Structure 1
Amino acid sequence: MDEQILALNTEHHLQLLESLGTPGFYGLFLDWLHQELSTDQCMVFFCPDGDRLTTLISKDFSRDQRARQLALSYIAEEHYRQDPIFKTVQQCQPGQLITLPLSSVCQKMGRLYRERFITGPGFVDKWSIVCSSSDGNFYINLYSRRTPYADLFGGPPLDACKPNRLELDTARLIATLITKHYLLNHQLLNQGPLAPLSERERQVCEAMLAGKKAEAIGYDLGIAASSIVTYRKRAYDKLGICSRAQLFDLCR
């Protein structure tokens, strides 16, 4: 991978920077990861209290519903407590930036955990970034089905103890984008995985999470129940889910 990845001088990169703190950031950020870092799945979690994780970003570029369901179960069934990196997320101190290649933690994963979240969905590599902010700690996971991340960074297999310059600079860039995005707009942090949705789509999902049916939501928002169904479908498509149960899992 050429070091131009760090030179944010293209139109797309400028749009990405300008979108920080807005809902438009998510699509631009994910497209950049997919196109320039060969990332096939991106999961960003937030640890606000040192005890639990919540989902901020969940995107799998494949149409594999199994992979998406596994990503949801990671939070809903608290599989993150079996994740060998979770303790690092809990203990990350202000100002710290930690990069963790799959090779550094693979042997610490239980066999079933590894099969469920790595080999089963077809990933050949995973690269994790842990960073801290004044609000809590961020846990950023990038997965690839195509290319080991070491190949992208032009070196031997990634080493958690000695990341090369390009790997470290890229990690700093990603961590800065994520932390600045939520620092500029705390409301997006509170909205969690619903932040990329339009206002109406988010209102519909929030009402569903409160247990309301389409008719009641339509009455509250002053729109037809058929419009609620349309907004719900659009929201599901953006979130990569297909049911109310998956919405609840995603927003736990």
Structure 2
Amino acid sequence: MQHLSPPAIMTLGWMPSEQVLSVLEQLGTARFYDRFLDWLQREFGTDQCMVFYCADGQQVSTLIYKDFAHEASGKRLAEAYVSERHYLQDPNFRLLKTIASGEVEVVRFNSVSDSMGLHYRQAFFETPGFTDKIAIIRGTEQGNYYINLYHRAPGFDERFDDPAFNRRVCALISILVSKHFELNDHLRQEGPLAFLSEREREVCRAVLRGKKNEAIAAELKVAVSSVITYRKRAYEKLGISSRAQLFALCT
């Protein structure tokens, strides 16, 4: 083991920011999402973050979605990407299916934009106003993670133009995401529901099982009015307004 002397430590020229340390502290907890997303926005000017998961090389599920300026837009795009199977039109989908465990690939928007179909480009870039994207794909033994950072203003953080910075920071981002869900696989299975309170999750899980408000109230031993309140709060947080949209987002 190599031991660094104090002078060597002082010349490294880098210290982790308080925000990165805060993200690390919350790995595996429900508080990770807010800390992680806040860091991406503050540090790199990210306008939207989407994280998807592919376990079998075929099906894709949503783990995180956030449009910092237009909450409803982020929800709508995540829902359409999965439920309408737009991922099949994504030029990065082949890499997402086949990347080996332990590998990390970074794909810039300009390297794949010409291979995008007109409808796909319009739905996921032109209509919501995005001009650039950094895609990070990480393979693990359990499944593969697809992390997308979007930007509306022309050009992303110019530091990403430095190959060394781009490689290391994107590796860090992918490690944070994969380790978070590795530490708490339950949160990965919950997908977007992980953003909710425990009661809100219980109500949404029951809705996804096809139960009505009265049956949910009996199961949870609460009033029907409470179920309606929890359901309303959950839908507001998820940016949806119907049972059908909940199914589209979570299945």
Instruction: Mark yes or no: TM-score above 0.5.
Output: yes
In 2, Cα distance between equivalents of 1:175 and 1:167? 12
Q: Between Structure 1 and Structure 2, how many residues are aligned?
A: 238
In 2, Cα distance between equivalents of 1:79 and 1:182? 24
How far is 1:14 from its partner? 2.2
AA of the residue aligned to 1:181: H
CA deviation map 1:149-188 (0-9, x unaligned): 2x43163xxxxxxx61111111011001001101111111
The answer (yes or no) to whether the contact 2:55–2:144 under 8 Å persists in 1 is yes
User: Where do residues 74-85 of structure 1 align in structure 2 (5 Å cutoff)?
Assistant: 74-85=81-92
Q: Does residue 125 in structure 1 map to residue 132 in structure 2?
A: yes
Secondary structure of the corresponding residue to residue 65 of structure 2: strand
In 2, Cα distance between equivalents of 1:141 and 1:233? 29
AA of the residue aligned to 1:22: T
Secondary structure of the corresponding residue to residue 153 of structure 1: helix
After TM superposition, the structure 1 stretch with the greater mean CA deviation from structure 2, 224-233 or 73-82, is 224-233
In structure 2, do the counterparts of structure 1 residues 242 and 17 end up closer, same or farther at CA, with 3 Å as the change threshold? Answer: same
In 2, Cα distance between equivalents of 1:183 and 1:20? 9
Out of 93, 105, 127, the residue aligned to residue 98 of structure 1 is 105
Secondary structure of the corresponding residue to residue 134 of structure 2: strand
User: 1:243 — aligned with what?
Assistant: 242
The answer (yes or no) to whether the contact 2:62–2:78 under 8 Å persists in 1 is no
In 2, Cα distance between equivalents of 1:248 and 1:200? 18
AA of the residue aligned to 1:83: D
User: 1:186 — aligned with what?
Assistant: 185
Secondary structure of the corresponding residue to residue 231 of structure 1: helix
User: 2:37 — aligned with what?
Assistant: 30
TM-score, L = length of structure 1: 0.89
AA of the residue aligned to 1:200: R
User: 2:230 — aligned with what?
Assistant: 231
User: 2:28 — aligned with what?
Assistant: 21
Pairwise CA RMSD: 1.6
AA of the residue aligned to 2:107: L
The answer (yes or no) to whether the contact 1:38–1:147 under 8 Å persists in 2 is no
User: 2:174 — aligned with what?
Assistant: 175
User: 2:158 — aligned with what?
Assistant: 152
After TM superposition, the structure 1 stretch with the greater mean CA deviation from structure 2, 193-202 or 57-66, is 57-66
How far is 1:196 from its partner? 2.1
AA of the residue aligned to 1:153: R
How far is 1:64 from its partner? 5.8
For structure 1, the residue ranges without an aligned partner over 5 or more in a row are 1-5, 156-162
In 1, Cα distance between equivalents of 2:123 and 2:190? 28
In 1, Cα distance between equivalents of 2:144 and 2:181? 12
Secondary structure of the corresponding residue to residue 42 of structure 2: helix
AA of the residue aligned to 2:243: R
Pick the structure with greater CA Rg.
2
In structure 2, do the counterparts of structure 1 residues 66 and 196 end up closer, same or farther at CA, with 3 Å as the change threshold? Answer: closer
TM-score, L = length of structure 2: 0.89
How far is 1:213 from its partner? 1.6
How far is 1:209 from its partner? 0.7
Secondary structure of the corresponding residue to residue 117 of structure 1: helix
The answer (yes or no) to whether the contact 1:58–1:239 under 8 Å persists in 2 is no
Runs of 4+ in 1 over 4 A off after TM superposition: none
User: 2:204 — aligned with what?
Assistant: 205
For structure 2, the residue ranges without an aligned partner over 5 or more in a row are 1-13
After TM superposition, the structure 1 stretch with the greater mean CA deviation from structure 2, 92-101 or 227-236, is 227-236
| Percent sequence identity over aligned pairs | 48
In 2, Cα distance between equivalents of 1:40 and 1:233? 27
CA deviation map 1:196-231 (0-9, x unaligned): 222111111110111112221111001111111221
In 2, Cα distance between equivalents of 1:198 and 1:65? 20
User: 2:122 — aligned with what?
Assistant: 115
Secondary structure of the corresponding residue to residue 210 of structure 2: coil
User: 1:49 — aligned with what?
Assistant: 56
How far is 1:34 from its partner? 1.5
